Structure 1
């Protein structure tokens, strides 16, 4: 078993080590998170600044092209192509551009090349300034970025487009821009277009080869993380990502280049260049943690020994006390703190327990000899605090044993007299049990008769229930037929309504025909002699229309009477159906009542059978009681003898007076 000093030392060291480890890991986490966050922010901002620089460089060349487009010499028909080419070359030389050319309205270049099929020429003729993707020039085979702008008539901006002027910066223009972006020794930058192709890089060969990370990632999964970052770059997003290239962990920050056709610039660095400070901090913190743990262990060992030794001596004395040693001395402690209080308390516990055990031993020794009239020597001073429970418990034991033995003595007298009464009662019980047996047999015969009547009643109920069920089936069939009759009456009523609608339509047609015939007669009268034949026909048509209207009216009257009769029949049918339904419901109630009577009869029959079984059991019990009563009489006599023996034993004790 480890001593308390060792435990305190171990606990203190563990507490120091755990605290230092928590502080170390928290510090490392904070340093790592902060460093990574700053790296992300730095790279993202660097990429944004780099994108702005590229935009500014391109914008500067765009402005050169726009200003050249406003040069009246290039739009003037007086100047020859060679003169215009010299003007463009002068502008290119002044601004450090590689070359340029002027293109007329028909696509003829001042340098003798046809440009009518070029996309940047077509855009310029629509009044747009264009920056092309890097491409291999058709005329010189160089990688070129073309900035083209419209040439305005008479050099007046936003008037009439009469041609196009373009300039091409140096082949290494974009590469020089990314080379100038140097975050640190291992940092780099590159530009991709909207399709993910590399258009500017430190290594010109990658640009010539048209490197595309997404396509490379389809064959090599090591480039998957970088390909995902390129997808976001193509989408025009600004952000930060991590990837591994050639076994080296790298960070990348990217941002879109405004004013271009989906270009985006990326800035990359080795992650170790930024995280090395974090690793150094981890090593320093680990050294501090180890040194602090050693120093804490030494200090904790010294303190724990000063505290643990006196506590160990007191613990050894208390352990002897638990083994029954009440005489060994308690160790002396020279300190003036809680340890001295512990030593005094241990000595006090030993002395008081010695006094209590001696006092309790005296009381229990007298009680063992039969003397219950004994008391504690000095209970108020010996038993203090929670120890008072001990003397109270001993007093309760003394008191209860005294009361119990006194009651046993009294009970012995009562048992002696009661046993004689039990013997006489047992004889009387045996005689009564014989009489009960005869009465139980008569009761069993009566129950058999009741069971026979209940069985007959149950059979009659079964027959009645069968008749009621058959009646309910007939009533149900009649109710179903009545419902079919009601449905048929409703269909007749609906058909009569439809016929009424048709008659109304016929009346409307007859009215319209009469109007038409009247109009025809009027028109025939206007014609004169030539229209007499038509007037006669119109008059006949009017007569027929009138007869149709009369016939339709008479039919309507008959239909209305028929409808009224059908409605009356429908009401009578509904009332009849309702009455049949009510009879069906009441027959169902009668069936339920009969079923309940039958069920009750069966239940009564079962209950009578149970009663019969109970009577048989009572008969057996009565016979058992008779035998038991005789045995009780013999046992009562034995009990009287034992009670006298008990009185002799109790007379040996001395009881205390209350």
Structure 2
């Protein structure tokens, strides 16, 4: 039981799962709600601020515009003073007007300039002796009306220059230029408070800061394009200096800000209000934090209540689980504790108790039936009522008992038939063993005789091969002799032909000798006729005649010898031809002997190969007969063992009781 409790504790309980799911759901709802709240408040704040800032910027621009108009009215009144419009007024009159104006209004200085920009009269601070190179003079000449220039920055002060043409009888003869104190703008800009870090500024068409709550920023003559080079900021600055009225949300100086802007009419300036988004999101974040804290507190309370409820459910479920685990481990005797909780847990415990009791009854009945079967009593049935699907168990048990009865009866009948079969197999195995032994002896005798035949055939094969070799050698020698005889015949025929040629030559020599003898005779006759002078020639002629006679004799002897030789050669040629024909006949007989030897050798080889195949088949048959003999012996032994085992099986089956 303790081991089961440890295994249960080692797993996640339902209490843990319920609390974990609750925490996940609450946290999920809290995060989703917070996200929706944060997104909604952010959009609401953004919408409100953008809707508020745009008219605020327009109204502030109008305030600056009205203050500037107030100053412009003063300048206009001064330019209409008779001491300026009267052509007869002196410089002293001009100085008087300027002094009175400076003492009356908030001027750092005021001066009167000619049309060329040269100083005519002044009181207090001014541009200097002339304003020829200033943009203020260019604007006054261009518009011929009141003009406001960008703030004038010196070491001592920051002022707002304002100029207006001075006319007499409708013609402009000079320019009145006053330097108003900068407090006029700084008071207006400083009075605008939006958020903790919000501020208002004035910029000209080039982006130069001409108005700022802090005068030092104006003294530095900074340009807004230089303060932030990001594309987001520049897109807002472009709209601002283009004298557009509108609002935007973008990043300025690295932080997301709301910006509204509007042009100041009558000037080259634009009024802008910048409010960092974080100033107004602080309240939103605080509201979100309060929501999270409240939700977290609610979560703690919910978890406490869930803990109490799940602890009660978990303890009751744990008891039921322990009992189910005990049932799985084979515990059929322990009781199930049923607590009166009036809920599903009580129903679960009662159902578990009923299930345990029913299973216990079924198992006890099955145990009784199996005990009888183990003792050999198959005349038994499953009793009692089996409910629901357990009825299938009863039917299966009954079917098993019935099947076992039928099987055991069939097994008993089979054992009787097996005994008879085993006895029959034993007698047949003895006969088969005897037959296999006889067959084995016969095959051994046949194998011995085949080996003797194969030995004799090997001798015949060897002799045949030797005869074939000798016949081949004789045939080769006869062919060689025949070739030599043919060569000898050809040589004899060549000699005969040469002899005939020699005979012809000899006859030609004999004819030449006769002609020479006649010539020698004629020479001798001529020598005698010549007389003493021809004696020497006569001697030579005699010698030539003698030589010719010897030549004739030699030629005749040669002819006789050649005739004798030709006769012998013809006889040799005839004998050679006869010898060649005899050798040809011998060669034909040798070829026939060789062919017969070859056929005999081939026949012997075929018979030898066939005999080897027969010998191999006889060996295979001998091996098979030995295997048959071994199988017969094994079958006889098995049949004896089968007979003994069938008798034992019958004895065991006799112990069972059947229906």
TM-score bucket (shorter structure): 0.5 to 0.7
Cα distance in 1 between the residues matched to 2:269 and 2:624: 113
Cα distance in 1 between the residues matched to 2:94 and 2:308: 98
Q: Is 2:45–2:280's contact at 8 Å kept on the other side of the alignment? A: no
The corresponding residue for 1:239 is 248
Q: Is 2:94–2:121's contact at 8 Å kept on the other side of the alignment? A: no
| 1:136 aligned to which of 145, 148, 152 | 152
Cα distance in 2 between the residues matched to 1:25 and 1:309: 33
Question: What does 1:294-305 correspond to in 2, within 5 Å?
Answer: 294-304=300-310
Question: What does 1:437-516 correspond to in 2, within 5 Å?
Answer: none
Cα distance in 2 between the residues matched to 1:132 and 1:621: 134
The corresponding residue for 2:293 is 286
The corresponding residue for 1:552 is none
Cα distance in 1 between the residues matched to 2:632 and 2:147: 131
Cα distance in 1 between the residues matched to 2:176 and 2:294: 69
Q: Is 2:113–2:175's contact at 8 Å kept on the other side of the alignment? A: yes
Unaligned ranges ≥5, structure 1: 218-223, 439-617
Question: What does 1:625-644 correspond to in 2, within 5 Å?
Answer: 629-644=628-643
Q: In the TM superposition, what whole-angstrom CA distance separates every residue of 1:596-629 from its partner, at most 9, and x where no partner exists?
A: xxxxxxxxxxxxxxxxxxxxxx999999877655
Which 10-residue stretch deviates more, 144-153 or 256-265? 144-153
SS of equivalent residue, structure 2 residue 354: helix
Q: In the TM superposition, what whole-angstrom CA distance separates every residue of 1:14-39 from its partner, at most 9, and x where no partner exists?
A: 45544544444445444544554455
Q: In the TM superposition, what whole-angstrom CA distance separates every residue of 1:312-369 from its partner, at most 9, and x where no partner exists?
A: 4444444444444434444343343323322321222122112211221122223223
Cα distance in 2 between the residues matched to 1:188 and 1:244: 14
Distance 1:162 1:268, change over 3 A: same
| 2:260 aligned to which of 231, 235, 255 | 255
The corresponding residue for 1:391 is 394
Question: What does 1:106-117 correspond to in 2, within 5 Å?
Answer: 106-107=116-117, 111=121, 114-117=130-133
Cα distance in 1 between the residues matched to 2:42 and 2:406: 87
Q: Is 1:146–1:167's contact at 8 Å kept on the other side of the alignment? A: yes
The corresponding residue for 2:272 is 265
Q: Is 1:331–1:343's contact at 8 Å kept on the other side of the alignment? A: yes
Cα distance in 2 between the residues matched to 1:407 and 1:130: 134
The corresponding residue for 2:346 is 340
How far 1:181 moved relative to its partner?
0.6
Cα distance in 2 between the residues matched to 1:431 and 1:128: 151
How far 1:400 moved relative to its partner?
5.3
The corresponding residue for 1:615 is none
How far 1:301 moved relative to its partner?
4.5
Distance 1:303 1:621, change over 3 A: farther
SS of equivalent residue, structure 2 residue 389: helix
Question: What does 1:107-256 correspond to in 2, within 5 Å?
Answer: 107=117, 111=121, 114-127=130-143, 134-136=150-152, 142-146=157-161, 169-184=180-195, 187-193=198-204, 197-211=208-222, 230-236=233-239, 238-240=247-249, 252-256=257-261
Cα distance in 1 between the residues matched to 2:428 and 2:388: 53
Cα distance in 1 between the residues matched to 2:158 and 2:620: 123
Cα distance in 1 between the residues matched to 2:372 and 2:643: 27
How far 1:389 moved relative to its partner?
4.3
How far 1:142 moved relative to its partner?
4.3
Q: Is 1:44–1:253's contact at 8 Å kept on the other side of the alignment? A: yes
The corresponding residue for 1:55 is 61
Distance 1:87 1:322, change over 3 A: same
Question: What does 1:363-442 correspond to in 2, within 5 Å?
Answer: 363-378=369-384, 381-382=385-386, 384-395=387-398, 397-398=400-401, 401=404, 413=417, 416=422
Cα distance in 2 between the residues matched to 1:410 and 1:419: 20
How far 1:161 moved relative to its partner?
9.7
The corresponding residue for 2:364 is 358
Q: Is 1:194–1:234's contact at 8 Å kept on the other side of the alignment? A: no
Q: What TM-score do the two structures reach when normalised by structure 2? A: 0.52
Distance 1:424 1:295, change over 3 A: farther
Q: In the TM superposition, what whole-angstrom CA distance separates every residue of 1:34-69 from its partner, at most 9, and x where no partner exists?
A: 554455445545543453245324654479869989
Q: Is 2:34–2:291's contact at 8 Å kept on the other side of the alignment? A: no
SS of equivalent residue, structure 1 residue 391: helix
Distance 1:628 1:66, change over 3 A: farther
The structure having more radius of gyration, on CA atoms, is 2
SS of equivalent residue, structure 2 residue 263: coil
Distance 1:244 1:388, change over 3 A: farther
Q: Is 2:109–2:180's contact at 8 Å kept on the other side of the alignment? A: yes
Number of residue-to-residue matches in the alignment = 453
